[in-house]
Amino acid sequence: MIEAKNVKTRVSEDFIKQLAGYGLATAEILYRLPDHPRLLQTYIWQDYDIAPDFPTLIKFLNFWTQKLEGPLHSVRVGHTKLIRPAEIRAIDGEFRLN
């Protein structure tokens, strides 16, 4: 038998973020190739973020525009909360099974 005081539990940072209201954000980023500006390349970015402001995505896009050579063409964003309030439905009746 394991005593509770000897058990160390670690909660993931991602789970803590989800409890704080973060959801999973996915961005499809189209950018122009530096050597061939007529060609577009796709980059998929995914992280936990808060809609509709998306501060984590904005920080990443600022880094992109300041440090990387491929100019951005467009960004398409999807977002979903992975932890949601439970859906409760009232039931009018009771069934007993033997």
Q: Please state, in angstroms and as integers, the Cα–Cα distance from residue 23 to each residue in 18, 20, 46, 56, 94, following that order.
A: 6, 9, 11, 11, 37
Q: Cα-flanking dihedrals φ and ψ of residue 76, to 5°?
A: -115, 130
Q: Distance between CA atoms of 48 and 50, rounded to whole angstroms?
A: 7
The stretch 66-73 carries a mean pLDDT of 96
Greater model confidence, 98 or 30? 30
Per-residue pLDDT of 28-62, as tens digits, reads 999 999 999 999 999 999 999 999 999 999 999 99
In a domain, 93, yes or no: no
Per-residue pLDDT of 53-67, as tens digits, reads 999 999 999 999 999
In a domain, 35, yes or no: yes
Domain encompassing residue 51: 23-80
Q: How many domains does the chain have?
A: 1
